[in-house]
Amino acid sequence: MNPVPVFWILALALVAATVVTLLWPLVRARRAADAPAGDDAAAAVFRDQKRQLDDEYAAGALSAAERDAAIDELAARFGSELALPGGAGDTSTSRAPWIAALVVVAVVPAAAVLTYVALGNPDALRTARAPDASHALTQSQVVAMVESLAQKLKANPDDANGWALLARSYAALQRFQESADAYAEAAKRLPGNPDLLADWADALAMAQGRTLQGKPAEIAQRALAIDPKHRKSLALAATAAMERRDFDGALRYWKTLAADLPAGSDEAREIASVIAEVEAARTGAGGKAKRAAPAVAAAPDGAASGAAVTLRGRVEVAPALASKAAPDDAVFVFARPVDGSRMPLAVLRLRARDLPREFTLDDSMGMAPGVKLSAAPQVIVEARISKSGNATPSSGDLSGKSAAVKPGAAGVRIVIDQVVP
């Protein structure tokens, strides 16, 4: 709404309320002045005295001449009282409230306007009409700002905080290799920062196809050497161990992380679920693989082995929640089994700016080699917009999910229409 009309409507309402407040006593005074109470009282006295003279004449106390003379005197006195100021014939007093009322109506609004012009700030209203366009940055403007920062760092390469900001900016633009390179520059200048190292490992893993093997895992270990309880580094190290099928190592990292979480929190429950899945995977990783091999080989269409099994669909945000999602918020699309564990079988990471978006999930997106989308009889596909950027759900996140579907299904529709309490 335009602030200028609103301001003047409120100002006029206040002036009108002031005028009414001032006029009310004057109007009441006018009504009182118009009341004929004084004239009525004089007439009543005249009638009483005349009745008394009539009674005295009837009783013989006065003659007719004396009664008539007394009545004439009363009439003359009554007429003179009516002519006095404040009587029925005096209009100057009755007009006074109306004159004052007209002065109030004319003077108060004019005085209010003149006072605002003299002491207020009318230019503020004109300024408010033009919206500030400086905050409406387009994607091209954001990219230009990031490139400008990169050029400044070439001229001043010792700015460690500048490199970290550039790395985060590249990650927000999903330019993960450039983000990893910038994190490397920042880490050279801030070697003892575990947060920086963990973010570097994460960006590098995204750049090399969502795998932590090799350099990302090494960087995560560097962060843990600085802070053995660093949460993101523990999660990265645990995931890297699962990729190597090192279940004992993964459990060690997950349990260290769980011990540092508040008991009963959502994060603690989620990590407990992951630990249970890893323990189950470790238990079932023994001789069962050989027994399952003939069944896999006998599958006529290759579906049992996960070959070419994909799950396709579309994810979008409900219009009612669209304003709650920032363009750079992380979006996790994942499939989990209908029954049993909630551990994701396949995960896809997007940005809120990408929505609505068609998606494809398959076995290559699993969190661990032994956990496959194609092996589940039925799954539920969920999508969550993470305000914190973490995979663990937290209050304020936005979420939605599909009905139960079979791996290989297409046309799965997910509407993000719920707010995580």
Q: Which of 249, 296, 253, 278 is nearest to 367 (CA)?
A: 278
Our measurement of the distance from residue 348's CA atom to the centroid of its chain's CA atoms, rounded to an integer in Å, reads: 26
At residue 307, does pLDDT exceed 70?
no
* Higher pLDDT, residue 276 or 341: 276
105, 126, 147 - which closes a domain: 126
Say what the pLDDT of residue 87 is. Answer: 47
* Total tally of structural domains belonging to the chain: 3
At residue 81, does pLDDT exceed 60?
no
pTM: 0.43
Q: Please give the C-alpha separations between residue 180 and each of 69, 203, 351, 364, in angstroms, as whole numbers.
A: 124, 5, 18, 23
Asked if the structure places residue 233 within a domain, the reply is: yes
Confidence grade of residue 124 (pLDDT, cut at 50, 70, 90): low
Q: Which of 83-92, 117-126, 347-356 bottoms out in mean pLDDT, i.e. has the lowest? A: 83-92
Side by side, the strands of the sheet bearing 357-362 are 357-362, 310-317, 412-416
Cα angle, residue 39 at apex, residues 37 and 40 outer, rounded to 5°: 65
Kindly state whether residues 350 and 404 are assigned to the same domain.
Answer: yes
At residue 401, does pLDDT exceed 50?
yes
Asked if the structure places residue 149 within a domain, the reply is: no
Kindly state whether residues 342 and 413 are assigned to the same domain.
Answer: yes
At residue 299, does pLDDT exceed 60?
no
Say what the pLDDT of residue 179 is. Answer: 92
Contact indicator for 259, 272 with CB cutoff of 8 Å: no
Kindly state whether residues 113 and 220 are assigned to the same domain.
Answer: no
- Residues 174-208: tens digit of each pLDDT: 788 999 999 999 999 998 899 999 999 999 988 88
Amino acid found at 40: D
Say what the pLDDT of residue 145 is. Answer: 87
Segment 362-372 mean pLDDT: 71
CATH number at residue 240: 1.25.40.10
Our measurement of the distance from residue 102's CA atom to the centroid of its chain's CA atoms, rounded to an integer in Å, reads: 50
- Token couple for 388: 């914190």
In which residue are the tokens 């003659």 written?
63
Amino acid found at 264: G
Helical axes 231-243 vs 247-259, angle rounded to 10°:
160
At residue 295, does pLDDT exceed 50?
no
Say what the pLDDT of residue 300 is. Answer: 32
259, 279, 307 - which closes a domain: 259
At residue 302, does pLDDT exceed 50?
no
CATH number at residue 396: 2.60.40.1120
* Higher pLDDT, residue 317 or 393: 317
* Higher pLDDT, residue 136 or 270: 270
Kindly state whether residues 338 and 388 are assigned to the same domain.
Answer: yes
Asked if the structure places residue 240 within a domain, the reply is: yes
Say what the pLDDT of residue 27 is. Answer: 57
Asked if the structure places residue 238 within a domain, the reply is: yes
At residue 4, does pLDDT exceed 70?
no
Range of the domain at 351: 297-419
Kindly state whether residues 309 and 405 are assigned to the same domain.
Answer: yes
Q: Which of 96-105, 264-273, 382-391 bottoms out in mean pLDDT, i.e. has the lowest? A: 96-105
Say what the pLDDT of residue 135 is. Answer: 46
Q: Could you tell me what percent of the chain has a pLDDT over 90?
A: 28
Task: Rank 124-128, 143-147, 397-401 by mean pLDDT and report only the highest.
Answer: 397-401
